[in-house]
Amino acid sequence: MYIRSLTLRDFRSWEQAELELPAGRTVFLGANGNGKTNLIEAIGYLSTLGSHRVASEAPLLRIGAPKARVGATVVNSGRELRIDVELNQGSANRAQINRSPVRRTREILGILPTVLFAPEDLALVRGDPSERRRFLDELCTARLPRLAGVRADYDRVLRQRSALLKTAGKQARSRSAGTELSTLDVWDGHLAVHGAELLAQRLSLVHELSPYLVAAYRSIAPESRPAAIGYRSGYLPPEYPDPGRTPGPGDAEQLQAVLLRELTAARPKELERGVCLVGPHRDDLDLMLGSAPAKGFASHGESWSFALALRLAAFELLRSTGSDPVLLLDDVFAELDRRRRSALAAVAAGAEQVLITAAVPEDVPPELEADPIRVETAGEADRRTSRVGAEPPELSAAAAEVVHSNAGRL
């Protein structure tokens, strides 16, 4: 699988960009602030409908623009598919597949699977549990696109139930919460249904990802303690976090019963605190080095190795189920030592398409021959037009020009 073309309009610093991309390896070269990462971020957005840099979509729109557009032509086994997303300020986003509108933007998920490694990935090891939950859910959705709907339903129910808990909690203290408490029973059922399906997919993913993670970490840091991955939840019975147990098709029903039981038991505390205390929104991913958790005990180098191993494991898992995902490497080689560079380069060398950003050619390992595309700032006077892939004589004096280099291979 590879991206044959990419178009941007009013996305981040780009007013307009059109880029033709080959299969194989391509590196975007240029100084910081010239828009290299914005190109990678746009591709990542088409893949996940989210950004690896910010939590909200507002920063993705160019300053002063009411909307932004991102589109790509994806080639998979010789078949081309066009996907486009319009990000709107103050209204719902819209999407198209082959120029035809779809009802929900999430219908494009699964068309362009990617694995993105960026400096922000250190938060997978050192950051909050929300970073690791996001990693799990995005990878689950890449494998099973319909899970995006399950996640959306779960989040909607969680918001409704949390609001009801706050209201019922206040009224319970005044002894007038009969209706709200009976309504909570209904929301408990909805939360258990959607939460159980999300949990079942997460547990299955962790089980399948584990051997890839162990192998990837061993190749990156053979002298380090062995790495392991597990699922952490305060309400699951022991057989579910067990990495030796293969999750089965009946798990969702059993997990639904577990969630209902735990929600009932936790209700007094939930009413007192006004928050939902049970469910996959509170779970975490256990990252272990030997007998110690990586978070808080791993060195800086070990943390980088673990973050890299997670991404490489995700790449190999997705690759095992079909065509290669597009590998996106955002300014990461400068952060890695020689051994980690070599491990990442070895995987990148065999991928169908790899898109790399780097400040200078020396940041790219010599074993990765790549077509260079230079990203340059032409000046501050005119920021209205961006051109990509054109020859230098045809370029306007734009603030974010991308020039395809004729210098050969890196």
What are the binding residues for ATP?
30-37
Which of 212, 180, 170 has its CA nearest to residue 319? 212
User: CA–CA separation, 176 vs 186, rounded Å?
Assistant: 18
Contacts of 141 (CB under 8 A, 6+ apart): 48, 109, 110, 147, 148, 151
Q: Determine contact, residues 219/343, Cβ cutoff 8 Å.
A: yes
User: CA–CA separation, 382 vs 395, rounded Å?
Assistant: 13
Structure tokens at 354: 């790899």
Q: Determine contact, residues 395/368, Cβ cutoff 8 Å.
A: no
Which segments are annotated as binding site?
30-37
94 class by beta-carbon count within 10 Å (0-12 exposed, 13-18 middle, 19+ buried):
middle
Facing residues of 284 across strands? 232
Rg (CA), the chain: 23
Let me know how long the chain is: 410
CA 224 from centre of chain: 27
SS3 state of residue 408: coil
User: CA–CA separation, 137 vs 139, rounded Å?
Assistant: 5
User: Considering Cα of 59, then 62, then 68, then 69, what sign does the dihedral take?
Assistant: negative
Element (H, E) at 309: helix 300-320
CA 354 from centre of chain: 17
User: CA–CA separation, 59 vs 163, rounded Å?
Assistant: 28
Which of 402, 407, 409 has its CA nearest to residue 374? 402
User: CA–CA separation, 306 vs 304, rounded Å?
Assistant: 5
Helices (H), 115-250: 123-126, 129-143, 147-173, 178-220
